[in-house]
Amino acid sequence: MEYEIIKDGKFDYVEVGKGETLMLLHGLFGALSNFSDLIEKFRHTHKVVIPMLPLFDLDILHTSVTGLAKYVHQFMEHKGYDHVHMLGNSLGGHVALIYVLKHPEKVKSLTLTGSSGLFENAMGDSYPKRGDYEYIKNKTALTFYDPAMATPELVDEVFEITKNRIKVIKIIALAKSAIRNNLGDELNQIQQPTLLIWGKNDTVTPPFVGEEFKKLIPNSELHFIDKCGHAPMMEVPHEFNNILEKFLQSLPK
């Protein structure tokens, strides 16, 4: 499904459907296709909004998880969104956590899936290797339980990004900022109902990370999905959407 990307000043975003706002925050290599099943399901009950995070457009000083959270705040203010249901995958989860800690009044509920913020097997200094297609292919496949999820289209997309030297520098800057910005001491401040959906076979943010989030965020519930890696909304969309739907329906209107 193709979605129109709306351009409004410095903001690029997708907005479909009507109802309470469900905002989706993507990760380092997150494309709209990552959320396609989720969008199709929830556009009938919610206003689904996806800001395109400026992973490669911020100056190097602001290329960080806090820089991205500031951008989300500017976007929310610009659009007048309020009391949103915020959902983040991987780095997007980390951005959502920083945002909700700074602007709790703006967020009605929080959903994290494979989120950084406590621990992740980061791509680190050796990643990504420029120009090595097989390496990128294997690294992309590790995101999933089923390596076949790393389609040629997806691998090509990641490979194109890693061919650009400036983009590689910014990916490493973001990955390092995620490692430095550990939120363990602050998570007990989050009062919003929080849903944690984790792949049992996630090797990037392993299951113990989901368990630690559950322990540290007061009003949280944790669901594991078997035979699933770091991006449950892509790999097992039906199960992911069912868990999310039940959670959203359980919240007070």
Amino acid (1-letter code) at residue 166 = I
Task: Please give the pLDDT value at position 128.
Answer: 52
Q: How far apart are the first and last CA of the chain?
A: 30
Task: Please give the pLDDT value at position 132.
Answer: 83
Q: Please report, for the chain, the start and end positions of each structural domain, with discontinuous segments joined by +.
A: 6-250
Per-residue tokens: 213: 């989030």
Task: Please give the pLDDT value at position 72.
Answer: 98
Determine the 3-state secondary structure of 44 from DSSP: coil
> Cα torsion at 123, 166, 232, 193 (round to 10°)?
100
CA nearest neighbour of 216 among 180, 198, 189: 189
Task: Please give the pLDDT value at position 130.
Answer: 62
CA nearest neighbour of 23 among 109, 104, 105, 90: 109
CATH code for the domain defined by 6-250: 3.40.50.1820
CA nearest neighbour of 83 among 192, 187, 186, 189: 192
Query: Three-class SS string for 86-132?
Result: EEEECHHHHHHHHHHHHCHHHEEEEEEECCCCCCCCCCCCCCCCCCC
List per-residue pLDDT tens for the chain, 253 residues long: 678 999 999 999 999 999 999 999 999 877 778 899 999 999 999 999 999 999 999 998 899 999 999 999 999 999 999 999 999 999 999 999 999 999 999 999 999 999 999 986 654 444 556 678 888 888 889 899 999 999 999 999 888 888 888 988 898 899 889 989 999 999 999 999 999 999 999 999 999 999 999 999 999 999 999 999 999 999 999 999 999 999 999 998 8
Task: Please give the pLDDT value at position 125.
Answer: 43
Task: Please give the pLDDT value at position 123.
Answer: 45
Task: Please give the pLDDT value at position 33.
Answer: 80
